[in-house]
């Protein structure tokens, strides 16, 4: 039997597939007969470079090899992209159009405001972000350099099921918390990006996947490390990349392939999220889902109990039973189960059993 693994519902950094961790463990001190760890190798050497290139190829292949797209590996998290996007695309006379869906969208907007002009194309604020604006409500500014969306609001627990046709305006989407959780028609997107630590691997790597023309022609006034063309022109090897993180991500991508790709991963995610929402919906109000049913996230299930005292008790009991990370984000309270790709169904089943038992005793 394997070691006992926690029922890990952390929001990020989050659970990684056990198979990936075991493979990394086996290769840790001697990577493929080189006598060293991948962490100890030059990022200019052939061994590391093949891992680097493989990870890029796997990402594109899982997305159906869309024509004309490039993969960049950066650092600084998705939060640095909040700044790099306006730095690279906002110039005098154009604006960044944003769909304001909650905590992460707001951060993206406030960073863009430091750099240039912003515009709110649609907002869920009137519902306290418990409901997403419908795609038909989105009004892109006439002088928009791009439309920015957040596909999955990790803290509130909402997720877009579809994306708008933005015509000639580039669509840029923060997919930090649901990238590779479902098949995507990449042709709808001009740029997507994600911090790795939710669905792709460990923290420290940021992935940008974009049409090549988005990555050229950064304004000359931006420092090298904040320009997309620096990363494009040097295959993301301008400076030292987060090599171990990219290696682990490549292993996670292999694992996704072994699951049968994104169609199978989506099925598994549907089953996991569906089983928790079912317990919530059948609890006759004992558990209450936080967000509008049609906007529910399959990655972050947010819910509440009758009062904070009972929520506290739920968290306390769940921790005793080995559940990690069930407490909601400090900014919104309540409860949250983050069930990214790597969270096994067994963990979710254990949680739904616990939820039913907790209701029996406290309902
Ligand atoms: C976690 C998260 C971020 C921030 O990512 P960092 O890598 O910590 O900067 C941004 N957007 C979304 C949707 C997230 O879930």
**Residues 143 and 243 both lie in one domain:** yes
**What stretch of H or E contains 82?**
helix 77-89
Does residue 227 sit in the same domain as residue 302?
no
**Pick from 258, 273, 300: which residue ends a domain?**
258
**Ligand 1 atom 10: residue of nearest CA:** 78
pTM of the model: 0.98
Beta bridge partners, 99, equal: 122
Q: How many domains does the chain have?
A: 2
The reply to whether 4 falls in a domain is no
- Ligand 1 within 6 A of CB of 174: yes
- Which of 106, 153, 195 to probe ligand 1 with, by most ligand atoms within 8 A of CB? 195
Q: Are residues 137 and 240 in the same domain?
A: yes
Residue 267 sits at the vertex; the CA angle it makes with 71 and 58, to the nearest 5 degrees, is 20
Task: Copy the structure tokens of residue 248.
Answer: 């682990």
Report the distance separating Cα 130 and Cα 156, nearest Å.
7
DSSP state of 213: G
Which of 121-125, 186-190, 331-335 shows the lowest mean pLDDT across its residues? 331-335
pLDDT in tens, 227-269: 999 999 999 999 999 999 999 999 999 999 999 999 999 999 9
153 with 207, same domain: the answer is yes
Same structural domain, 66 and 156: yes
Q: What is the mean pLDDT of residues 147-161?
A: 98
Last residue of a domain, one of 227, 258, 289: 258
211 is catalytic: no
Q: Verify that 214 and 108 share a domain, yes or no.
A: yes
Residues 251 and 349 in one domain: no
Catalytic option among 198, 255, 295, 327: 198
* Residue 321 tokens, joined: 């039973």
Other Cβ atoms within 10 Å of 338 Cβ, number: 23
Distance 156 CA to ligand 1 centre (A): 13
The residue from 216, 234, 258 where one domain ends is 258
Given the CA of residue 195, which atom of ligand 1 is nearest to it? 7
């Amino acid at each position: 039997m394997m070691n006992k693994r926690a029922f890990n519902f952390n929001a990020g950094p989050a659970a990684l597939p056990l198979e990936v961790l075991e493979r990394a463990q086996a290769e840790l001190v001697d990577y493929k007969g080189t006598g060293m760890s991948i962490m100890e190798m030059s990022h200019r050497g052939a061994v590391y470079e093949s891992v680097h290139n493989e990870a890029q190829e796997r990402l594109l292949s899982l997305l159906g090899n869309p024509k004309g797209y490039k993969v960049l590996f950066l650092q600084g998290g998705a939060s640095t992209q909040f700044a790099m996007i306006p730095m690279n695309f906002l110039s005098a006379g154009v604006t960044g159009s944003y769909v304001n869906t909650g905590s992460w969208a707001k951060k993206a907007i406030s960073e863009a405001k430091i750099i240039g002009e912003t515009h709110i194309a649609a907002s869920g604020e009137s519902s306290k972000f418990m409901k997403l604006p419908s795609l038909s409500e989105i009004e892109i500014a006439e002088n928009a350099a791009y439309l920015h969306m957040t596909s999955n609001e990790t803290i509130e627990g909402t997720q877009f099921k579809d994306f708008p046709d933005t015509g000639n305006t580039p669509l840029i989407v923060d997919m930090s918390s649901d990238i590779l959780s479902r098949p995507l028609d990449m042709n709808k997107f001009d740029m997507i990006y994600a911090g790795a630590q939710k669905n792709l691997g460990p923290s420290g790597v940021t992935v940008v996947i974009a049409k090549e023309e988005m990555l050229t022609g950064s304004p000359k006034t931006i420092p090298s490390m904040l320009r997309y063309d620096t990363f494009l022109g040097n295959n993301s090897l301008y400076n030292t990349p987060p090599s171990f993180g990219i290696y682990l991500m490549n292993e996670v991508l292999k694992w996704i392939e072994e699951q049968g790709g994104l169609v199978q991963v989506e099925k598994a995610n549907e089953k996991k999220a569906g089983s928790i929402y079912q317990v919530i919906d059948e609890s006759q109000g004992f558990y209450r889902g936080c967000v509008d049913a049609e906007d529910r996230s399959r990655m972050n299930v947010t819910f509440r109990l009758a009062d904070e005292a009972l929520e506290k008790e739920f968290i306390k009991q769940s921790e005793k039973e080995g559940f990690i990370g069930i407490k909601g984000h400090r900014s919104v309270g309540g409860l949250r189960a983050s069930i990214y790709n790597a969270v096994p169904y067994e963990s979710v089943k254990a949680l739904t059993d616990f939820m039913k038992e907790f209701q029996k005793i406290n309902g």
